[in-house]
Each structure stands twice: as C-alpha cells, then as structure tokens.
Chains A and B, each alone.
Chain A
Amino acid sequence: MSTAILLLKNIGKIFETEELETHALKSINLTVNKGDYVSISGPSGCGKSTLLSIMGLLDVSSSGEYFIEGVNVTDLSLDQAAEVRNAKIGFIFQSFNLIDELSVFDNVALPLRYHADKPNNATIKKRVIECLEKVGLSHRISHKPNQLSGGQQQRVAIARALVANPAVLLVDEPTGNLDSKSADQVMDVLDQLNKAGTTICMVTHDPRYADMARTKVQLLDGAILQAPVAKMVG
C-alpha cells in the first residue's frame, strides 16, 4: 500500500493587490506517495511554481489544507515551516541558488548546519561527501560555485537537496538554465535517485522530461486539468 508523503486538499492561492485579485491556484487536490516521481507541467502562468512553493512551505496557501507525512502543515509559523523544510524537503531551483561565497562543501552542508539534531562536523563531512559522490562531484569539494559549469552547479544543488535525507525532493525547472547535454545529465541523476527510492516532485515545461515521471499532473489556469495520470512501470 502506498504511503502519502504529501497530501494537498482543496489548496487555493489568491494574489491580492489594491486593484485586483488573481486566483493563482484553485482547489488543488494532489497526493504524492513515497517513491513517486511526479511531474507538474502546464503553460506559463498556470501556477506550477506557485504550487511547488506551497508544497515546499516557501509560501502559504490562501485556502485548503496541506499534510506532509500525515502532519497538517497548513498553518505553521515561519520558524516551524523552516524546521519542516529542513527535515522533510529538499529543493532544487532552476537557477541553482548556490551561495557564491561558500565552497561546494559548505553549500551542500548548509541544510545540516540548520538541522535540529545539530550533527557534528565529522557527520556533516561524511554526509556531504556521500551526497557529492551520488552526483559525481566529490572531486570538486573545495571549489566555489562560479568555478563550476551550469550542469555541475545544478548537481551541487541536488547534493544539497539530498544532504538532510528529505522525504521529498521538490524540483523547479531543473534544466531551465542548462544546455541540453548538462540537462540530460541532471535528469539522469534525478532518475537514478528516484530509482533508489527518493520521492521527487518536479515542475517542468519540457514534455520530454515530464514524460520521465511516473505521475504527470497538468495544470491550466490554476487548476489540475485532469486526474493525475500514473505511467505504468514495465
């Protein structure tokens, strides 16, 4: 039986300005089970990134309820949300969002520095090296981000997302800033991670990469176009 890692019930998001209200998301219901590889796609402005932000507790919904591993996280404070993000969620951004002043090691170690368990340096080092090995960059440990190619930077970002053993990886257009060769390498890494049991939820507008996911969600005008379609695994 599948275990729901993420459960969204009637999630809505309204952006308000003085003049108008924009309904970015309308009553989204979505379940992401353990080990799932979910792609969210749709035309520009359909609410993909907004949905991912809410799923990653980077933003709050205007309505509905949201559960992570069965715990209601709809109304958490900023610090509680940070704790949950640190422990349960790994982020991968389109523009990598690595910190220029920090080395590859320190960038990857960052989530562990904020971890509630306060791991010691030896544990951090072991874990960081493990994650960098997974993405094939353990030899670049002392480099600064600007000394790496785009594809390598994105793989460092993947290592950072993995380092705290999150329940789910939330991936926002991971190949948007990459050439096709680097993009394929990054997607391979994600594919292998999923095959190794990592739950992934990815926003992409590239149908080729969307097809790599086992479950495809189509968004249009803030609403899920049809029930998530699960791809049969042969």
Chain B
Amino acid sequence: MNLFTYQLKQAFLSLKKKPGFVFSVVSTMGITLGALLCVLTLAYLLLIEPLPYPEQDRLFVAEHQIVGEEKEDQGKSFSYPGLVDLYKSKAAFEQAAMMTYGQGVIISHNSQPLVNTAYVTSELHQVLASPMALGRMFESSEAINTNNPVAMLSYHTWQHNFNGSADILEQKINLSGVSYRIVGVLAKHFVEPALSEIGRETQVWLPWDYNQEGEWRRQNFGEVSDNLMFIGLLKIGVNSLQAQQLLTPLVNERWQEGVADDDFFKGWSVDIRVRPVKDVMLGQSESIAVILLAGVIFLVLIACANISNLFMSRTVEKQRQMAINAAIGATQKHLFKAMLAETSLLMFMSIILALVIAKSGFYLMQQYLETILPRVNELTLNPITFGCAALITLIFALFFAKLSTRMINYHALNSTLQSSGKGSGLQVSKKTRQVLIASQVALATVLVFANFGLLKGAVKSINAPIGFVTENISTLTLNFSSTDFPSHAESVQIMAEIMEKLSALPQVESIAQGSSPLSGFYVRALINIDNNERSTPYSKGVDHRYFSLIEQQVLQGDNFTNVGRRDGANVIIVNQTFAKQLKANGDVLGMQLSTGSPDPLKIIGIVKDITIASDSYTGFDNTFLSSGVPRVYLPNGLGGRSFMLKLKSGQSVSRQQLGKLLAEVDTRYSVFSFNSANDLLTKSLFTEITTAVTTAALAFITFFLAGIGLYGILSYSTQMRRLELGTRMAVGAKRLDLILLIIKDNVKPIIAGVLFSLVILLSVYFFFSVELSTYITLQLAPLFVATLLLISTLSLLACYLPLRRFINSPAISNLQGSE
C-alpha cells in the first residue's frame, strides 16, 4: 500500500468518527457545488454550445418591425400578406420557411387531447435538417398552396398519445375537422427552435396551408400578428445587415401600399430586422446565465469561506496527531498529503452529492423553468458537467488541504507535544477570528435580509387584490371539428342552446359568454375622435353578464345589453386607467373612439381596473405603465365559443360531462379547454410564485450556510480556548459562567457584523435608491429587525453548540486536551 492510499484509509477512519463535520462539509459543498454544476452546464448550453442545427451559422429569422411616425418601434409583428410576399420574394435567403403556431383537439383520438400545433412550409425541417425517428419530413408535395393534408408528430406525442405504435405512419388523425395522414415522427433528440414562446413544444406539425388565420387576416396588411414567423438560411456571402438593407425597401413598399387606406398607420413604416436564430431563441437568457453564474459563484465563495472555518477547527483537532507525525519524521509535504487525503475524500463525497443535486436541478428546471429559460430540455449530465466536477473536486481538495497546512506552524508543532497538546502550533490570531465572525454575521444578515425582501415582494404580488373573483369560476372553450361551418345565425342558435343546457346543470350558478379575465385580451388600435390621439389599450369581447359574474365593478354609466350585442351596437366600456389616459379627469362617458371603420364606438361605461400579474403592458409611447393597464371592453358576438361558468360552492363539472352535453346539441362541437379561473390565476402568478419559492429556498440556504460558517469559526475559536476553559473550570467556573464568557467575548464581533451589514445595506440604498425604491421601503424595517433577531439567535447558538461538549465533560479532559 503506498503512502497516499494509506493516508486515504486513515482519513476515512478518522472522518468516520466525525459525522457532524463530514455532514457539514459534504452538505454545504454538495448543495453549492450542485448549484454551480447546474448553472455551469446551463451557461455552457446558452453561451457556448452551438444550436443543434448543421447550418446554424446561416440560420436567421426575419422580423417585421413596425416603426412609428417618430421612428419609434411599434412592435414586431408580420401581416399575413406581408409575410407571404417576403416568403415568395426569395431575396437574401437561400431557403426560407414560414411558420405559425396553434392548438387543436385530435378528435379522432379516444381521449381527444388538446395539442400544440405548428403550421409550416415544407422548407422548415429541411433548413433545420430535422432528424426523424420514423418516416419523412415535409417535402415539395406539401409546399404552399398544394393543400396536402399530412402531419408529422413529435417523438413525445408519438410515445405518449400513440403508445409508440410502430405502424403510426399512414394512420390518420382528425384535427378541427381535417383528416391528416401521418407521414413522419421527429427524432427524440430533435430540438425545436423556440421562436415565439420558450418551452412550448409543438406536438403535431401541419402544412402551412391549414393554418388557423381567418380570411380577413390573410388579405389585410393592417392586421398584424406576432404569431407569424419567417426563418431561413441566408445566402452564402450575405450577412444580416446586407439582408436587412435588401429586404426592408421591398417589404416596406408593399406594406405601405397595403395600409394606404388606414389612417391609423399614417406616417408609419416597416423595417426588416434579420437576427440569428440563436439570438432569438436565447433572448435575454445569455445575460440571465451570466447573472446566475455570478450569483452561484458568489454562493460557492461564501460556502468556501464557511468550510474554511470548519477546516481551521478541524486542523486544531488534528494538531496533536500532526505533531506526533512531525516528531517521527513527517515533512511538511507529508502533512500536506495527509490533509489532502482527507480533503479529497470529503470533496469526492461532496461532488457525488453535487452531481445528484445538479441532476435534480435539471429536472426541476425542466419542470418549472422550461417556459422561462430556453434549451433547458437539453440539460443533462454531460462530459462538460463531469469535467467541471472533476476539476472542482481537485481544486477544492487542494485548496482546503493547502489552507489547513498553511495554518500549521511546522516548527512550533514540537512544542505542542512538549506541553501535552496545550501549546499552539496554529497561526490564526484572535483579531483574525473576530474579523471572520464579524464578516460572517454581516454577510449572512445582508443576504438573508435581501432574500426576505424579495420573498416579501413576491408574496405581496401573489396576495395583491386582482379586482375580480376567480373562486368557483371556470372557462369553457369549444372546439369545432368539421369543415361544415355553420352560418352566423346557426352559430348563434347553437350557442344559445348550449348556454341553456349549461345553465340547466345543477352545479351551475350562473353563466356568461366570453373568456376569463385572465385571458383573451389583445392590443387594439383606437383613435380619440376629439383630438385624433392614437392609443393601443388591451381589448376584450364580453357579454352583458361578464362584469357581474366576475364581480368587476361598473363605476359609471351602463353595462352592455343583450339586445345591443345582437344588434352590433357601437359601444365600448373602458377601465379607470384608460379613462384617465383619454381625459385627465376620467370623465369620458359619451366620448367616441374610432377603430378605423366608419362607425365610431361610444363609451357607455367605466369599470374598475383589474390587475393581472403576468401583464407587462408597454404603452403607446413604449413606457411601462406601472400605475395600471388601460383596457377596453367591447360587446362580443352571440356566436362566440367561450363561456364562463360560475359553479355553486363545492360543486364541480367534468370535461366528459361537458363533452356529452355538447354532443347532445351538436356533434361538431367538443371541449377544447375547460380550466378553472383559480388555476389560470396561479399560472399567471408563475413568476411571482417562482420568485417566492426561489427566494425562500435561497434564504434558507443562506441561513444554513451562515449557520455552518458561524459554527465553524466559533467552534474553532472555542477549541483554541479549550485549555483556558479547563483552567476556568478548575478554579470553579460553572457552565453558565463559561457560556456567558464565550457569548460576552463574541458579542463584540457579532455586533460589529450587524453594524457592518447596516452600513452595506444603507450604502446600497444610498447609491441605488432609484433602482431599489420598489424593493426597499420603510415597511421593510420590521423585516430587518426580524433578520437581525434570526442572525443573532443563530450566532448565539453557534456560540453555545461548540462549547457544549467542553462544558459538559469533566474539567480534566479540557486540561489534558483529550476527548
């Protein structure tokens, strides 16, 4: 057995006797290194790893940027005819594709699942070189205007909805009344380019010809949508700037012709912006990755400082053993190797835990952050993760071993033996120890307080009044599964019958036609006829029962009437914010707003504002409106396919029950979605809930790390005073005397740490008062006091716990330095 193997064995046996120490080191380093590995892998994926497309360097997206009169950006949205024109022009791109997203119910499937669809031209999968598990990708036989109803499934859909059936090809699926023949299944490792929404997985790919845009939109240049995309391979030798310069005049000219009759767009123009697919897919996530990486490195440094304290304490314990080794001929190098054996074992255990935590982290990110961070579905323990893990293990093992051996004054070790273990071969002064304690307390106070502050903000947002009720309310949206479209009059009649049947259900208290206030808003362009000012509030179609069903207060004027809805009355209801935006005093009843059509809309009512957490409304002048979101409500048509059901308390209705009810009225209708408003509300609060959970977890981890750090340094400090404690015990000190002594001696650095944290927080507030005004208010004072109490309690516990074993054993064991 060579010396290092022997030392590893000895280290193992020695650590076996110190489960508390092992637990502290392994848990602290395991958790923080787990987070580091997780973020390192993510950062590699986002910052370095190329997209999994062979021609990713030439893969670009063209964006249709609408520019206002003052050359300000007015949004990135294509018009349908504009997109098709660009696609047909073939300019700048060697090969290009159009795509748009949708949803549909596979009515031919037993469980009638609602699936995400994408309507694409045949070039898309060719430019992506999508790998196939079965069959083929779309070809020229599915090119634009061929109307060939074929479909491709995602691997997951094939496995999940079709049990991985080997003879899936050539089977037919019916979506929204169209029967599609399955021609291919994408490979498991195919990565969809997330151009519109991070984390959205297309389950069924369909040819462009079958997209869900209505005829009006297909023809109208003024109807723009952010659900129309253009992606392609730039020609070799053409860069994005050249492509922009080439495409902008072409597209702008055509768009100007298209909107020439619309006053709203007067003076506006279009710029084509050509961006790499990687930029579009990653968005702001590269900076998120850098911030996350910086944060987690900071966390690792804190953990490292804390664990250094524990190793200092451990070195004190091992001082005598090292002195004996030195006395019998061990050199400094031998002592270093012995320490390295121990740190290597500990770091090995830590990194195993870290890998488990990283793997769990990947899972959690894939479950909860797939809609926030791109490419998280590609996260896996890969050679980069393992390489980093091995490197980290080596670096930290060497670092802690070096740190521990640097503490030892090799030449003074001999005196340790001469004074029966009572002398000191260690070199950390009392002042250094006090500085370490103060810095631990300061850091812990700042971090715990910061996390508590964020947590409080997130909880406040979660609990903020929303201005309407969601309790017992569900939204039902119908799916139409036929090409045999009813006339408007027929639709109205069918919907009336469906509503009657729904109202008759014993579980239903009331019903309204329209979707939940948590969805269905879209931006609408309006012009104030009085002063020709343009505005773009959120708009939604509602019926005359909507406001009373969700208990949203009508503050002034009238509600819609059923007769008005039927007759298509040109009326509109606005919210408080929009009323004040139109007229400072909010007195807007009777005011007329133009939509561009000949008949203006008359404001007949003003309703109270509602607050939806997921709103990130940017006003007409591109400024974020924190005070409220302007909204308008228009009477919806009687043929709408969405309903809100208010159920009686404690009652529920199943999707199957609703499906049966619909089939009784008209078999062409089925359930598209049936969601409780509470669930939608929870979804809309996703960011706040994630923030709350993350900050609570971080506060806990910070507190845990602070505890470990304080325990380490105070334990070390107390061990250094073991002989003194024994002497005091010998002359009659009781346990309480010693506890008070240690607390009294440590209270000074603890108070210094608290004061230091106060200085840090005040400095941050002073220098960043504008940026932090939302987060730091006087209301946080009690929270700061609570943080101080928590950290003080932790500090006192950290004083007591290491002392406990000394004061609860006979004085002689402290005097002799034995266990």
Interface residues of A (CB under 8 A from B): 53, 56-60, 78-79, 82-83, 85-87, 91, 93, 95, 97-99, 101, 110-111, 114-115, 160, 164
Contacts and interface: CB of A to CB of B under 8 A. Distances in A.
Nearest to A82: B734
A95 B424 CA distance: 14
A85 B727 contact: no
B801 to A, nearest CB: 17
B815 interface: yes
A79 B738 CA distance: 11
Contacts of A58: 729-730, 810-812, 815
B351 interface: no
Contact of A99 (B727, B732, B735, B808): B727
Kindly state the interface size class of chain B when it binds its partner: 20 to 34
Contact of A91 (B422, B430, B731): B731
**For chain B, what secondary structure do more than half of its interface residues adopt (helix, strand, loop), or is it mixed?**
helix
Contacts of B811: 57-59, 82, 85
A93 B422 CA distance: 12
A99 to B, nearest CB: 5
B125 interface: no
B733 interface: yes
A111 B737 CA distance: 12
Contacts of A98: 727
A86 B422 contact: no
A230 B505 CA distance: 110
Contacts of B729: 58, 82, 85
Nearest to B731: A111
A57 B731 CA distance: 11
22 contacts: A57-B811, A58-B730, A58-B810, A58-B815, A82-B729, A82-B735, A83-B734, A85-B729, A86-B731, A91-B730, A93-B727, A93-B730, A95-B420, A97-B726, A97-B727, A97-B730, A99-B724, A99-B727, A114-B728, A114-B733, A114-B737, A115-B732
B147 to A, nearest CB: 85
B730 A114 contact: no
Contact of B728 (A59, A79, A87, A110): A110
A87 to B, nearest CB: 7
A212 to B, nearest CB: 24
B140 interface: no
A188 B181 CA distance: 112
A152 to B, nearest CB: 17
Contact of A95 (B422, B735, B810, B813): B422
A59 B734 contact: no
A74 B59 CA distance: 88
B316 interface: no
Given A93-B815, A97-B815, A99-B727, A83 B732 contact: yes
Nearest to B725: A99
B721 to A, nearest CB: 9
Interface string B325-352: 0000000000000000000000000000
Contacts of B727: 93, 97-99
B811 to A, nearest CB: 4
Q: Which 6 A-B pairs have the closest CB atoms?
A: A86-B732, A58-B812, A97-B727, A111-B731, A59-B812, A114-B732
B420 A164 contact: no
A56 B726 CA distance: 13
Given A82-B735, A82-B811, 15 more contacts: A53-B810, A58-B729, A58-B810, A60-B810, A78-B808, A82-B729, A83-B732, A85-B730, A87-B732, A93-B727, A93-B815, A99-B728, A110-B731, A114-B734, A115-B732
A57 B732 CA distance: 10
A115 B735 CA distance: 14
Interface in B716-761: 723-724, 726-737
Interface in B265-289: none
Nearest to B420: A95
A82 B810 CA distance: 10
A78 B732 contact: no
A78 B807 contact: yes
A72 to B, nearest CB: 18
Contact of B732 (A53, A59, A93, A111): A111
Contacts of A99: 724, 727-728
B419 interface: yes
Chain A CB count within 10 A is highest, among B419, B732, B807, B810, for B732
Contacts of A86: 731-733
A74 to B, nearest CB: 14
Interface of B: 419-420, 422, 430, 723-724, 726-737, 807-808, 810-813, 815
Given A95-B419, A95-B422, A97-B727, A82 B812 contact: no
B335 to A, nearest CB: 25
B581 to A, nearest CB: 71
A202 B812 CA distance: 17
Chain A CB count within 10 A is highest, among B734, B807, B808, B813, for B734
A9 B197 CA distance: 87
Contacts of B419: 95
A85 B420 CA distance: 23
Contacts of A60: 810
B734 to A, nearest CB: 5
Contact of A85 (B724, B731, B815): B731
A190 B712 CA distance: 43
Contacts of A111: 731-732
Contacts of B813: 59
A115 B430 CA distance: 28
Contacts of A57: 811
Contacts of B807: 78
B730 A56 contact: yes
Given A58-B811, A95-B420, A95-B422, A79 B735 contact: yes
Contact of A160 (B731, B734, B736, B810): B731
Nearest to B729: A82
A169 to B, nearest CB: 12
A13 B728 CA distance: 24
Contacts of B733: 82, 86, 114
A116 to B, nearest CB: 9
A109 B561 CA distance: 94
Contacts of B726: 97
Chain B CB count within 10 A is highest, among A56, A60, A85, A164, for A85
B408 to A, nearest CB: 20
Contacts of A83: 732, 734
B742 to A, nearest CB: 14
A97 B723 contact: yes
A209 B735 CA distance: 36
B732 A164 contact: yes
A143 B597 CA distance: 99
A114 B808 contact: no
B769 to A, nearest CB: 44
A205 to B, nearest CB: 15
A115 B813 CA distance: 23
Nearest to A111: B731
Nearest to B736: A79
Contacts of B723: 97
A48 to B, nearest CB: 13
Given A95-B420, A97-B723, A99-B727, A53 B812 contact: yes
Contacts of A91: 730-731
Contacts of B737: 114
B355 to A, nearest CB: 35
A1 B207 CA distance: 118
Chain A CB count within 10 A is highest, among B420, B729, B736, for B729
Given A95-B420, A97-B723, A59 B731 contact: no
A192 to B, nearest CB: 22
Contacts of B724: 99
Contacts of A53: 810, 812
B550 to A, nearest CB: 68
Contacts of A56: 730
A214 B419 CA distance: 30
Contacts of B732: 82-83, 85-87, 111, 114-115, 164
